[in-house]
Amino acid sequence: MKPFDEYSKQLKNYTLQQQPDPYLPVEEYFTCQVANMGSVMLPLLNGWYVHKDSHLTRYENGVVAGSLKAAIQECPELVDAHLNQLAAEDKDDLTASNETQYTDGIFIYVPDNVKVPQPFQIVSLVNSREDLLVQTRNIIHVGRNAELSLIQCDDSSKYGKTFLNIFTGIFLEENARLHYYKTENKEAESLLFHHINVYQKRYSFFLSNAITFNAGYVCNNIHVNLNEPFAEAQLYGLYLVDKTQHCDNRIKVLHNCPDCKSFQLYKGIMDDDAEASFHGHVVVQPDAQRTNAFQTNRNILLTDKAKINTQPFLEIYADDVQCSHGATVGQLDDEALYYLRTRGIGERSARKLLMFAFANEICQHVDIQALKDRLSDMVQRRLDGELTICDQCMMHNADNGHLIFPIDPTKL
Partner 1 sequence: MLKIENLHVSIKGREILKGVNLEVNAGEVHAIMGPNGTGKSTLASVIAGKDGYDVTEGNIIYKGKNLMDLSIEDRAREGIFIGFQYPVEIPGVSIANFMRTALNEIRQYRGLDPLNGAQFLKLMNEKKKVVELTEKLSNRSVNEGFSGGEKKRNEIFQMAMLEPTLSILDETDSGLDIDALRIVANGVNQLKSPDNATIVITHYQRLLDYIVPDVVHVLFDGKIVKTGPKELALELEKRGYDWIKEEYEQRKLS
- Residues of this chain that interact with partner 1 (CB under 8 A) are 333-336, 338-347, 349-350, 353-354, 356-358, 360-361
Comparison of 49 and 358: residue with beta carbon closer to partner 1 = 358
Rounded distance, CA 250 to CA 310, Å?
10
Comparison of 252 and 381: residue with beta carbon closer to partner 1 = 381
Rounded distance, CA 20 to CA 214, Å?
26
Comparison of 89 and 386: residue with beta carbon closer to partner 1 = 386
Comparison of 76 and 346: residue with beta carbon closer to partner 1 = 346
Residues 6+ apart with CB under 8 A from 240: 211, 212, 213, 214, 268, 269, 359, 379, 382, 383, 407
Ramachandran category for residue 243: left, alpha or beta (phi over 0 → left; psi -120 to 50 → alpha): left
Tell me which residue of 123, 116, 156 sits closest to 138, measured CA to CA. Answer: 123
Q: List the alpha helices (DSSP H) in 112-190.
A: none
Query: Nearest distance from residue 342's CB to partner 1, in Å?
Result: 5
Query: Nearest distance from residue 273's CB to partner 1, in Å?
Result: 27
Rounded distance, CA 130 to CA 242, Å?
26
Query: Nearest distance from residue 301's CB to partner 1, in Å?
Result: 19
Rounded distance, CA 261 to CA 68, Å?
31
Tell me which residue of 106, 105, 126 sits closest to 21, measured CA to CA. Answer: 126
Rounded distance, CA 259 to CA 261, Å?
7
Query: Nearest distance from residue 7's CB to partner 1, in Å?
Result: 35
Rounded distance, CA 389 to CA 153, Å?
10
Q: What angle do CA 137, 138, 141 make, to 5 degrees?
A: 150
Query: Nearest distance from residue 265's CB to partner 1, in Å?
Result: 13
Comparison of 152 and 360: residue with beta carbon closer to partner 1 = 360
Query: Nearest distance from residue 71's CB to partner 1, in Å?
Result: 42
Comparison of 336 and 404: residue with beta carbon closer to partner 1 = 336
Comparison of 129 and 343: residue with beta carbon closer to partner 1 = 343
Going through 90-241 in order, the beta strands assigned E by DSSP cover 106-110, 120-128, 132-142, 147-159, 162-172, 177-185, 191-200, 205-214, 217-226, 232-241
Query: Nearest distance from residue 325's CB to partner 1, in Å?
Result: 20
Query: Nearest distance from residue 380's CB to partner 1, in Å?
Result: 10
Rounded distance, CA 2 to CA 110, Å?
37
Comparison of 36 and 349: residue with beta carbon closer to partner 1 = 349
